[in-house]
Amino acid sequence: MRDTKICTAVVGAGKMGTIHAKVYDQLPESELTAIVDIDETKAQRLAEQYNCLAYTDCEDVLDKVDAATIATPTVTHLKLAKIFIKKKIPVLIEKPLAASVREGRKIVGLAKRNDTVVAVGHSERCNPVVQAMKRLDIEPKFIEANRISPYPFRSTDVGVVLDVMIHDIDIILSLAASKVKKVDAVGVNVIDEKEDICNARIVFENGCIANVTASRLALKTDRRVRVFSRQAYLSVDYFRKSGMIIKADPNINVVKWIQERKETDSFDLTTVNWPDLLHIEQLDIDDKEPIRLEQETFLKAVADRARSPEVSAEEGLAALECAQKILASVKKHKWKEKIAYDT
């Protein structure tokens, strides 16, 4: 690496590209070298903000950078990633990995053939509450995830599954740690041709079941997940970065305690405060910016091939494959309009 720092580039000067540029500029191990965007004005404006170079073609930065983040519309991911990977330049690709499973597999194949690090920007995996869940090392049997928000007026090239639900799909796959056995889903498009609301039920080979709902037509933002396991019950709020855990082992004598007192005529069950009987803990959550953690792990993997990014290309592909199964089920279960006839 040049002067011990990793020279980085951001491809895409839109909202996500702007966020990535800001974080790269702040990281001590990174030297933000270039901004690339087909809109020269946008590229120049962002480059001036961080005192780096502006380009309109990725080919122009290949001899200047050690790593790049691709934050462009999903349909361009394969084309742009190929330019860097063929030159063995590591890339972090914003989620989803690609516009289709076929394109995602091409990216994974390119990374393997060129022995190059490819990370996927599933930043929610780096959310402090998800990191806290990861440290618990639980084996979930049921997962319920809800991710709803007002219409974002971005990522209009994909529906709510690839835009929003893909976050929870990735997290659920990492928690379940099993192959997908079956998927059933239903979705509705209201604003555009792509689905705006979707609910999916995912059954895994190890018996874990996940119920996932995503909507970009809500009046408020709500991002929650509940996890049921033998070890504990978790309730997590991604948006507020808070979580609660009820561990099983400390509560095994609660029912016995209640049964013993029920046999006492003087005992009044209505006086029992149920939460007082449970072993409830607040999740130990670090307050770290998800994209910062995402980029740190990516750059560590670039500097040391023995390390892995937070979400690898293979994991990004697995999330994409599951998402495509959901979309196929939505298409299969497409709602048909009822025609009313006068009688």
Q: Could you count the other beta carbons within 10 Å of the beta carbon of residue 232?
A: 18
Q: Determine the pLDDT at residue 339.
A: 44
Token duo for residue 113 = 């053939």
Q: Is the pLDDT of residue 308 over 50?
A: yes
Q: Give the separation between CA 201 and CA 213, rounded to whole angstroms.
A: 9
Q: Determine the pLDDT at residue 33.
A: 98
Considering the domain architecture, whether residues 54 and 187 belong to the same structural domain is answered as: no
Q: Quote the mean pLDDT of the chain.
A: 89
| Cβ–Cβ under 8 Å, residues 40 and 56 | yes
Confidence of residue 253 (pLDDT cuts 50, 70, 90): low
Q: Average pLDDT in the 5-16 region?
A: 96
Considering the domain architecture, whether residues 35 and 53 belong to the same structural domain is answered as: yes
Token duo for residue 279 = 């072993």
- Tokens 């997290």 locate to 171
Q: Average pLDDT in the 299-304 region?
A: 97
Phi-psi region of 44 (alpha: psi -120 to 50; beta: other; left: phi over 0): alpha
Q: Which residues pair with 236 in a beta bridge?
A: 225, 243
Q: Give the separation between CA 2 and CA 309, rounded to whole angstroms.
A: 21
Query: What percentage of the chain has pLDDT greater than the value 90?
Result: 69
Question: What domain count does the chain have?
Answer: 2
- End-to-end C-alpha distance for the chain, whole angstroms: 78
Q: pLDDT tens-digit profile of 38-50?
A: 999 999 999 999 9
| Cβ–Cβ under 8 Å, residues 227 and 137 | no
Q: Which residues pair with 147 in a beta bridge?
A: 214, 223
Q: pLDDT tens-digit profile of 110-149?
A: 999 999 999 999 999 998 888 888 888 889 999 999 999 9
CATH number at residue 114: 3.40.50.720
Q: What pTM, to 2 d.p., does this model score?
A: 0.86
Q: pLDDT tens-digit profile of 155-206?
A: 667 899 998 999 999 999 999 999 999 999 999 988 878 899 999 999 999 9
Q: Determine the pLDDT at residue 3.
A: 57
Residue 13: phi and psi, rounded to 5, are: -105, 25
From the list 235, 211, 233, 215, the residue with the least C-alpha distance to 224 is 235
Q: Average pLDDT in the 297-313 region?
A: 96
Parent domain of 205: 133-290+324-332
Q: pLDDT tens-digit profile of 66-114?
A: 999 999 999 999 999 999 999 999 999 999 999 999 999 999 999 999 9
Residue 312 lies in a domain: no
Q: Give the separation between CA 4 and CA 98, rounded to whole angstroms.
A: 32
Considering the domain architecture, whether residues 118 and 144 belong to the same structural domain is answered as: no
Q: Determine the pLDDT at residue 306.
A: 94
Q: Which positions ≥6 away from 271 have C-beta within 8 Å? A: none
Residue 11 lies in a domain: yes
Q: Which positions ≥6 away from 94 have C-beta within 8 Å? A: 12, 16, 69, 70, 71, 72, 77, 120, 121
User: Three-state SS for 130?
Assistant: helix
Confidence of residue 278 (pLDDT cuts 50, 70, 90): low
Residue 311 lies in a domain: no
Q: Is the pLDDT of residue 338 over 60?
A: no
Q: Is the pLDDT of residue 241 over 90?
A: no
Considering the domain architecture, whether residues 276 and 150 belong to the same structural domain is answered as: yes
Q: Determine the pLDDT at residue 155.
A: 61
Considering the domain architecture, whether residues 90 and 195 belong to the same structural domain is answered as: no
| Cβ–Cβ under 8 Å, residues 152 and 318 | no
